Every structure is written in structure tokens, then in C-alpha cells.
Amino acid sequence: MNPVFAERRYLIPFRATLLSQIFTDVLVIGGGVAGMRAALAAAEHSDVIVTTKGQLEQTNTYWAQGGIACVLDESDTVEKHVQDTLTTGAGLCDETVVRTNVAEGPHRVRELIAWGMRFDKARPDSEEGSIALGREGGHSMARILHADGDATGKELALTLYRKVKATERVRYFAECFVLDLVTIEGTSAAGALAGRCAGAITWHPKYGLQVIWAKATILASGGCGQVYRESTNPPIATGDGIAMAYRAGAVLADMAFVQFHPTTLYVAGASRSLITEAVRGEGGLLIDRNGYRFMPDYHEMAELAPRDIVSRAILAQIVKTGHTHVYLDCRHMGTAAFASRFPGIFQLLRKFDIDPGKSPIPVHPSAHYMVGGVRTDVQGRTNITGLYAAGEAASTGLHGANRLASNSLLEGLVYGEICGRVCAEMCTNGPTTPAKIVSDIRPSDRSELDLADVRSSLRSVLWRHVGIIRDGARLAEVSEMFDFWARYTLDKIFDDVRGWEIQNMLLVGALITRSAQWRTESRGTHYRLDHPRMSDELRVHDLWQRGQTEPRTLKVD
């Protein structure tokens, strides 16, 4: 990797003087499912601060239409769920982590129910009715729990938020942007970066810059979908947590594996709103402009094939037909049934005068989920002492090379709880000792690029060349583009969130590109035209760390 990205050591540049210091036992960065569940677990043994970049309704969790994958039915088994996850993960799942998540799922779901979360029931007219279970792509059984049809994430987020706000030992700081982790650095005997995380530097529109000192820090900051032009993610998903972890010396893994959701609403000028996979689970069919159902031509599971296969099939059919998109045909359900099962999507479609009971829905793939992220062990620890990671920002090994549908909310619940519980190991020490914080970036002597243009350009080039289908020559070109943008942007000192976001997006985009360029095979979400097959030699996790120009590899057992 270019030295601009790999060799510089710095906190993200800032001018202002730190105005205040706050002390806590545990700092949780992120207010989605993983962050809030981690905070609740940590509050059982310590005082906790939760920082969220925006408001609750801006999180990926709140936006999630899909459900929670969980083994509850007597005809289903943990082993079946494990095998479905391993199959979709294309040889890169860590089986111990998979079994932990699947086995813990029922406990975490029953916990949510005890906290007041409402799940859709198979018999809505009965208060004691059993929970309705849906099926989604890659699953061999119906095991997906939903709430209000297509608003599972909203109900989950509100349930956890109410619990967090009612927990005395948790303080919740909304609109609090985290610039960087504070680390006390060192090196291992092998010469690799090591050290201890001591908290983070934050910025709040009312209180300005602050440092939050913490004995343990849990990174649950979510994904980075906004680095792509076409994305289902909310605007705040700019990869800040992944970028700050890399700058601090944390190991990142499998950054090439970005999952693209096959079906987002395709209306010119409109944002790419998600059309949940559960619609296909209810019998929705993918057809092209000629009304031809094409998925059986690409995979035996047709519309319920894993997402990477469906996304590539849609792109192939678009090329065949010379059209800009395909259609999701739900006319078999009728208007009333669709509106009852998917009320949120129905209201969205009404804004564009689309009646799904009468007309097919125009759809196109979009960037959806970062499978890679900050590498952790089986208990959520990173290579930096005192730093843990959970949820989309983490790479636990659960998803391998491709995430099984609805396993992400499950992972947030399970690994949020694990991180919150395990971090007690750091909280038995005495008070956190403040350290000197230095941002040693000198004023740049290079011209300043237009930030809006850089943001737009990087999102467009990642979508075109580091998206669903990739090619080595194009990836090399994109790497050169990132090197150029970095020279004129990463050396600048900004005083606002937009500037810091651009620096984070550049770093994350470059890491995705480098990982994709290195992985000369096609596996899971990652498809290379010039290397269309899987390679046994590359059945490894690629590990990226600041100061190294090439990744280390970790063989999958």
C-alpha cells in the first residue's frame, strides 16, 4: 500500500484545543444493535458511556428491514443453521465463531422478548400465537424472525434503546462524533504494532472536542456503505470506526468482501431504498424487461440463492437485455396482502405511484454490508489491549467471504453481549491515567482538493470498478486514484465532520481496493473477471495493518 496510507502515524488532524476530559470504565462507540447490547452487558459490571454519531433512527440497525436468523422451530436445528452459514461463507468462516453465534441466538431472542420486543406471530389474532418464521436466501429452513413485517430493525433498536436509557450505569451521548482512538503505543516481540487503547477523542456540536478516557473501549460503529455511489446504508455509514482502528494499529481482515444487496428500488433521482429479501421469501420473482423469470438459469435455488449470486445474475441479465434494471414481481400477493406483510415498503412504493399488487417493482443491486472489518478473536478482542469490536465494524469470522441473510442482527446481539461481558477483564484496574495527546500534522503545502468532488468521485469509482464485478487492471487504476486523492486530502487539517468523513472514506476505500487487488480469485461476494475461480491457496484471511505494504495471511482451519 502507498506510504500515504500505510506508514504515517497520526491522530486524525485537528486544530482546536481539547476543552474537557471525561472518565469512564467502558466506552462504547456506536449506538446500533451491537453497541447497545454491549453497553447493557458492560453495565452489569462497570460504568459505561455510549457515543453515537447521529440519532437512533440514523443507524443501520434502525434501517434494517430484514429479520433475525434464529433456530426456534422444532424442525430446525443448530447444525442446519451452522451448515447454511458455512456454505454461504465460501470456505472462510471460522466454525467456532459460527457455532457460538447460532447456539447463543435463542437466548438473545428470548431476552429481547423479556425486554418487550414484539415479533410477528404466525397467528396474529392470538396473543399467545407462536412467532412467525420466514425464509430468506441461503437458508434451508424458515428461521427468520420479523417485526411489523419489514421494520425489524426499528423495533429492535427501540427495544434496546429503552433498555439502555433505563440502565443507571449507562450514559448515552448522541451526535457525538469520534475522531480517533487514543492509544499508548508499543511493539510486540515480533516487531508488529501493539499497545493499549485508553479511550477516544470526540467532537460534539455543543461541547466541541473532548477526550473520553476509558479502561475498555468497544468499537461498534457499523459499516461503510456510503463509500459506494449505490448504497442501502444511511448517510452516516462512512467507515469511521474501521478507519480509526487502522490508524491506531488494529489489524483489519478480509476488506475485499463487501456484500451487495440484489434488490433496491431503482427510480431515477431517488435514493436506493432496500426491498428486503423477505419479499423473495414470500414468493417474489425476478423478471427482466421482457417479463422473463431468469434466476432459474443461474442457480438451483433461483430467487433464494445467496445474495452474491443473485446480484451477479441481475447484472448479467441487465447486460443481456440492454436495460438499466430488472423487476421484482409480487403481483401474485395482491395489493392488500403486500401492504399487510410489508407496510413500510408499500408506503415507500406509494410515493412513486407503484402498486406492487399490479406492477412489478424496478430493482437494482446496491452496496449493503461490510463483511470484513477489524479482526477479533472468539471473544471480541482485537490485537490492541483494551480494544474490542462487534457488529459490522468487526471481522469475527462469522460471515467468511459472504454473509448469510439475517445473520448480522444476530451477530450484533451475540457479540455485543460477549464484548460487554469480557471487557470486565480491563475494568479491574485502577483509574485510567491520562496520557499526552499530540496531533503532529504540520500545515499542508499542497493544494486543497474540493471535498465534495473527492467524495463524489471516490464513491463513483468504487461502484464502477470495485463493486460486484472486478478486474485486476481496473483495480490497479483505482489504487492510483486513491494515492492521488490521499496526497491532497489526508494531509489537511479539518475542523468539521464532513472533512473527517472524507479522510475516513478515502482510507477505507483504499483498503477495500488493495484487498480486492490482492485477492486473485473469485470467492463469496468477491468476483474477479480475470480470476473467475476460487483458489485453494487463497483460502486465507488477508490481514492489513498500518506500516505494512502487503497483507499477512491467516489460514482457515
For the beta carbon of residue 556, count every other beta carbon within 10 angstroms.
16
Residue 394 CA to residue 380 CA, distance in Å, equals: 8
Q: Which three cell numbers stand for residue 455?
A: 467524495
Whole-number pLDDT of residue 549: 85
Q: Which helix (H) or strand (E) holds 111?
A: helix 95-114
CB 276 within 8 A of CB 342: yes
The answer to whether residues 359 and 396 belong to one domain is: no
DSSP 8-state class, residue 224: -
**CATH no. for residue 247?**
3.50.50.60
* Residues 329-383: tens digit of each pLDDT: 999 999 999 999 999 899 999 999 999 999 999 999 999 999 999 999 999 999 9
The answer to whether residues 113 and 210 belong to one domain is: yes
Whole-number pLDDT of residue 3: 43
CB 154 within 8 A of CB 62: yes
Q: Which three cell numbers stand for residue 127?
A: 396473543
The answer to whether residues 353 and 421 belong to one domain is: no
Is residue 199 predicted with pLDDT exceeding 50? yes
User: Could you confirm whether 464 is annotated as catalytic?
Assistant: no
Q: How many domains does the chain have?
A: 3
Which of 181-190, 258-267, 368-377 has the least mean pLDDT?
181-190
Q: What's this model's pTM, rounded to 2 decimal places?
A: 0.91
Residue 200 CA to residue 100 CA, distance in Å, equals: 30
The answer to whether residues 213 and 136 belong to one domain is: yes
Whole-number pLDDT of residue 290: 95
Is residue 438 predicted with pLDDT exceeding 70? no
The angle that helices 451-465 and 472-489 make with each other, rounded to 10 degrees, is 170
Classify residue 473 as left (phi > 0), alpha (psi -120 to 50) or beta. Answer: alpha
Q: Which domain holds residue 456?
A: 3-10+444-555
**73 Cα distance to chain centroid:** 28
Cα–Cα distances in angstroms (integers) from residue 283 to residues 112, 136, 196, 280, 385, in the given order = 29, 10, 51, 5, 48
Whole-number pLDDT of residue 2: 52
**CATH no. for residue 274?**
3.90.700.10
Whole-number pLDDT of residue 10: 45
Q: What is the mean pLDDT of residues 118-130?
A: 71
Backbone angles phi, psi at 198, to 5 degrees: -120, 15
| Beta-bridge mates of residue 27 | 49, 217
Catalytic-role residue among 307, 470, 474, 523: 307
Whole-number pLDDT of residue 64: 87
What three-state secondary structure class fits 439? coil
Predicted confidence band of residue 510 (pLDDT cuts 50, 70, 90): very high
Whole-number pLDDT of residue 273: 84
* Residues 385-406: tens digit of each pLDDT: 999 999 999 999 999 999 998 9
Whole-number pLDDT of residue 124: 60
* Residues 45-72: tens digit of each pLDDT: 999 999 999 999 889 898 888 899 999 9
Beta-carbon contacts of 495 under 8 Å, excluding residues fewer than 6 positions away, are 14, 15, 16
The answer to whether residues 400 and 488 belong to one domain is: no
Please provide the distance, in angstroms rounded to a whole number, between the alpha carbons at the two ends of the chain.
28
The answer to whether residues 422 and 520 belong to one domain is: no
Is residue 205 predicted with pLDDT exceeding 60? yes
